[in-house]
Amino acid sequence: MVFEFEVQGGDFATAGNASSQIKKILKQLNVDHHDIKRIVVALYEAEVNIVAHAYKGRITANIDTSEVRILLVDEGPGIPDIELAMQQGYSTASSEVREMGFGAGMGLPNMKKNTDEMRITSIVDKGTTVELIVFINQTTS
Amino acid sequence: MEAKSFHHALKVRDDLCIGCTHCMTVCPTEAIRVRDGKAVIIDDRCVDCGMCLRNCPVKAIHIEHDDFKNIFDYEHRVALVPAVLSGQFPEDITVAQIYSSLMELGFTAVYEVEHGVEILLEAAKKFVNNSAPNLPVISSFCPAIVRLIQVRFPALTENVMLLKPPLDIAALHIRKLYTDKGVESEKLGVFYITPCAAKIAAIKSPVGEEWSPISGVINMDFIFNKIYKSIKQNGKNDSCYLPKIDPLTREGVMWSLTHGEASPMQGRCLAIDEIHNVIDFLEKLENEEIDDIDFLELRACDESCAGGVLAVANRFLAVERLKKRAAGLTSVSELVPSEMSHDSIALSADYIINHIAIEDVNPRSMLKLDEDMAEAMKKMNQRNSLLKALPQVDCGACGAPSCQALAEDIVQGKAGIEQCFFIRNRQISAGKLNMAGSTSIIESIWGKKKLKKPESENI
């Protein structure tokens, strides 16, 4: 099943909407709550990243019985050094964003921790694409 | 593994239910449907919050409690009373008078539930300290909230504080006290005066506990009437007999009110009351949008137990009165052991600590469309296409609280699409359904009476 969500850069007030929707869907699909938590935590981080850094973005979630694959494509400044961005505590967030409780530099490491696979590609001044993959129903299948 | 069905204290009286949509539309877990002209509560979804009871225009929803006469089955009859009872009465009626009236009604002892919060408080602080990094710890105080978490927020069941609430701690103490005095347990009846339905449900089928030390439950509004009548008839008796108990602590009196638990706890603690507020917050907490909180006090009722469905007084006035009562009492931190009575709960502290733990609280999600994920995906697709066909009016005329709820009932084989008035109209226009067919569908939802023309009417 495929679900799509639009994300508006700078709109912190509604950040987390896609994560909440996906969470609701996964609960209705009877996905194990530990898996749901990993997916939602990683997705929320990724969603907030788009809001905090990009102009706009699109989230496409592909759900099947063995995995949840989420693609986040944004138009924005891009990440010049992905390896550096992956380090804990590294952040380019503005002081304004930090004041709102975001931008602690935990986003990408936290996303990696909560997913089975994560791929980031980025072109400076064009945008960033993040793919999050979480395997589900591993014990039953 | 998921637990078996809950016991529910909330019951619909079919003889009174007029078949409207009030309860169904306010239920925060969409646990009510209308069938055959009567509200039906879906056991697996109901969390016993009592919102339906509050909104019923004809008092058709009631809380099933024990017959008061049952207390006389026991030689020793202890009334276990929450402090919030004392907040129900006007200021000129003293706490001593209230409890003396309870004795006159037939109890042999009166004991306040919140004795022992000092023991719980210490245990709770330790529990929070040992729970890192799995924070926040969510209080187990409000049974409706524990059930809400089980059915709607399965991932958060791991955050529930696995300690008994004050009610169970007090009941344990009383049982021990009487056992130590040589009273056989069959001869001791412990009766809780409840401000809500959830507490009854929790006693009849405890979550995370094997048995309940409480023999029976009596509704607070019922007891309020009996006490008030007795005080009005007998006048204000200054010489009335005050049951020999230690005074509650300040924290004890405040415990069941909003911030009662959160304010004496350590770390970053938050108190949230009213079930919709709690649901909003838990949604965010589950996404980990909120962090760095150590302890959460969550209550289903606005103004917590002062706003319980069986509380009689205006909740704000009750809170005011309880605050005044608390102001004159000793704080937990100022307790002097030597000044305690020989029945003091402090003497049971070791015993209570050994029995304070409850078992894991298991998820029992009601949100899934099917056990099998592939099947659930199929049903979700069906639901989504049904939703496009439904009018999105959420009128409730189909007997379900919203178009989405109807669509979900349909894919689970619990309802038919023709229950929707708009769909029926389309089917009639298309010649697929006749008037008689439509009538029988309406009757299956709303009963036969609603379609009959009253004799006095000319419409």
B428 assigned to some structural domain: yes
B4 assigned to some structural domain: no
- Which phi and psi (to 5°) does residue B219 adopt? -70, 140
Q: A-contacting residues of B 139-158, CB under 8 Å?
A: 154-155
Å from B205 to nearest chain A CA? 24
B458 assigned to some structural domain: no
Could you tell me if B83 and B49 lie in one domain? no
Which CATH number is B414's domain given?
A: 1.10.15.40
Q: Which helix (H) or strand (E) holds B250?
A: helix B250-254
CA distance B385 to A72: 26
Q: Residue B258 — very low, low, confident or very high, per pLDDT cuts 50/70/90? A: very high
CB of A36 less than 8 A from some CB of B: yes
Domain containing residue B46: 10-63
B368 assigned to some structural domain: no
CB of A17 less than 8 A from some CB of B: no
Could you tell me if B142 and B243 lie in one domain? yes
Nearest residue in chain A measured CA to CA from B376: A29
CB of B363 less than 8 A from some CB of A: yes
- Cβ–Cβ gap A33/B377 under 8 Å: no
Does the domain made of A2-135 have the CATH classification 3.30.565.10?
Answer: yes
pLDDT at A141: 43
- Cβ–Cβ gap B284/A28 under 8 Å: no
Question: Helix or strand or coil: residue B23?
Answer: helix
Reported pTM: 0.89
pLDDT tens string B316-359: 999 999 999 999 888 888 877 666 676 788 888 899 999 999 98
Q: Residue A57 — very low, low, confident or very high, per pLDDT cuts 50/70/90? A: very high
Could you tell me if B312 and B168 lie in one domain? yes
pLDDT tens string B131-147: 988 899 999 999 999 99
pLDDT at B76: 96
Total number of domains in chain B:
3
Complex prediction ipTM: 0.82
Could you tell me if B161 and B241 lie in one domain? yes
CA distance A78 to B281: 33
pLDDT tens string B422-439: 999 999 999 999 999 999
B360 assigned to some structural domain: no
Structure tokens at B192: 């809780």
CB of B291 less than 8 A from some CB of A: no
CA distance B330 to B340: 12
CB of B395 less than 8 A from some CB of A: no
Could you tell me if B47 and B75 lie in one domain? no
| Residue B303: closest CA among B314, B291, B289, B290 | B314
B37 pLDDT higher than 60 = yes
Let me know: does A107 contact A79? Beta carbons within 8 Å: no
pLDDT tens string A81-98: 888 887 777 777 777 777
pLDDT tens string B146-176: 999 999 999 899 999 999 999 999 999 999 9
pLDDT at B239: 57
Highest mean pLDDT among A7-11, B94-98, B136-140: B136-140
B274 pLDDT higher than 50 = yes
Q: Which residues of A touch B284 (CB under 8 A)?
A: 16
pLDDT tens string A85-137: 877 777 777 777 777 666 666 678 888 899 999 999 999 999 999 999 999 98
Could you tell me if B33 and B105 lie in one domain? no
Could you tell me if B277 and B392 lie in one domain? no
Q: Residue B453 — very low, low, confident or very high, per pLDDT cuts 50/70/90? A: confident
Could you tell me if B41 and B147 lie in one domain? no
pLDDT tens string B194-231: 999 888 888 887 766 667 789 999 999 999 999 999 88
Q: Where are the domains of chain A?
A: 2-135
pLDDT at B234: 79
